[in-house]
Amino acid sequence: MRVLIILFIFLYPFLLFADELKVYEIKGEEIWEKERIIDGIVAVRKSGKLIIKAGTRVIFLPIDVDKDDIGDGEIYVEGEIYIQGEKDNPVIFTAQSDNIEPGIWKYLMINHAKYAFINYAIFEGAFSGVQVHFTKAVVKNSVFRKNIDGFRFSTADVYVCNCVMRDNKHGIRYEERDSNGLIHYNEIKNNEIGIFPVIKSESKVRFEYNNIYDNGYNIKIGDDQKKDIIYANNYFGHDREKKIRELIFDKSKDKNLPRAKISPFLKKKIIIGEDKCLERGY
């Protein structure tokens, strides 16, 4: 029943405004190169495979059919997606705008999909750069900037390495639920909130060897989270726990919340890079 409810929440806007938005379906293998203009919804169906080559610019037009101040352009993946950027030639997901700001387009949504692999991509100007649900996803060497949520997941197997989440409202937002995974060697800085565990997190997704600093709050525990969460072996911008906890919103600031358990913490900034990442994920 919970799965059906979640599916309805994700699909409701799609169903409600499908007649007003252009919907382009991918049911076989399709390769994108150079530039793609998105003026509605791209739906990669269960039988579909989308491959995006290095240097491709995916540009979302500023469409807001439902008038909720969040753009309606999106890519929705039920099949497979492979984003094959390169270090000096990334794939860029952006908006058609002279002023990139959060929410001009909606998201790259990967939901009940077969598989997702993202390497050397930039996501900017979205409600959520990438959302992953009920899917195994590998995300490496990518930048999430100027989004409401940089990277967001729930009930997924995720591997995230050597990514930069900066200048978002939330660098990483998640509802762990039945997720598993490893998030390591990332730079999470200059967000309103660096890491935002909303609910049902039990530390099954490991956060370690990340640089998490200079955010409004480096960690903010959600109001409905019940258990302590482990964030040990990360660098938080200081070498003293008292200073670190100034930028953590947990039981120390609201007695009704659990604690973010950060010890042992790293006293020096981690050197990150593509060489730190596992080739195909954890």
DSSP state of 9: H
Tokens coding 234: 């990360």
Asked if residue 73 belongs to a domain, the reply is: no
Model confidence over 177-191: pLDDT tens digits? 999 999 999 999 999
What pLDDT is recorded for position 19?
56
Share of the chain above pLDDT 70, in %: 93
User: How far is Cα 220 from Cα 184, in angstroms, rounded to an integer?
Assistant: 19
Asked whether residue 7 carries a pLDDT value surpassing 50, the answer given is no
Asked if residue 76 belongs to a domain, the reply is: no
Q: What is the mean pLDDT of residues 233-244?
A: 97
Q: What is the mean pLDDT of residues 5-16?
A: 49
Are the beta carbons of 163 and 187 closer than 8 angstroms?
Answer: yes
For residue 259, count other CB atoms closer than 10 A to its CB.
15
Asked whether residue 263 carries a pLDDT value surpassing 50, the answer given is yes
Share of the chain above pLDDT 90, in %: 90
Model confidence over 107-161: pLDDT tens digits? 999 999 999 999 999 999 999 999 999 999 999 999 999 999 999 999 999 999 9
User: How far is Cα 112 from Cα 252, in angstroms, rounded to an integer?
Assistant: 37
What pLDDT is recorded for position 2?
52
Asked if residue 158 belongs to a domain, the reply is: yes
Name the pLDDT band for 1 (thresholds 50, 70, 90). low
Model confidence over 30-86: pLDDT tens digits? 999 999 999 999 999 999 999 999 999 999 999 999 899 999 999 999 999 999 999
What pLDDT is recorded for position 264?
98
Asked whether residue 282 carries a pLDDT value surpassing 80, the answer given is no
Asked if residue 163 belongs to a domain, the reply is: yes
Asked whether residue 219 carries a pLDDT value surpassing 50, the answer given is yes
Are the beta carbons of 61 and 94 closer than 8 angstroms?
Answer: no
Asked if residue 224 belongs to a domain, the reply is: yes
What pLDDT is recorded for position 141?
98
Asked whether residue 14 carries a pLDDT value surpassing 90, the answer given is no
User: How far is Cα 45 from Cα 42, in angstroms, rounded to an integer?
Assistant: 9
Asked if residue 218 belongs to a domain, the reply is: yes
Asked if residue 98 belongs to a domain, the reply is: no
Asked if residue 194 belongs to a domain, the reply is: yes
Q: What is the mean pLDDT of residues 218-240?
A: 97
Average pLDDT score, the chain: 93
The three-state (H, E, C) secondary structure of 226-273, written as one string: CCCEECCCCECCCCCHHHHHCCEECCCCCCCCCCEECCCCECCCCCCC
What pLDDT is recorded for position 91?
98
Name the phi and psi angles at 238, rounded to 5: -140, 165
Task: Name the domain count of the chain.
Answer: 1
**What's the domain range around 247?**
148-282
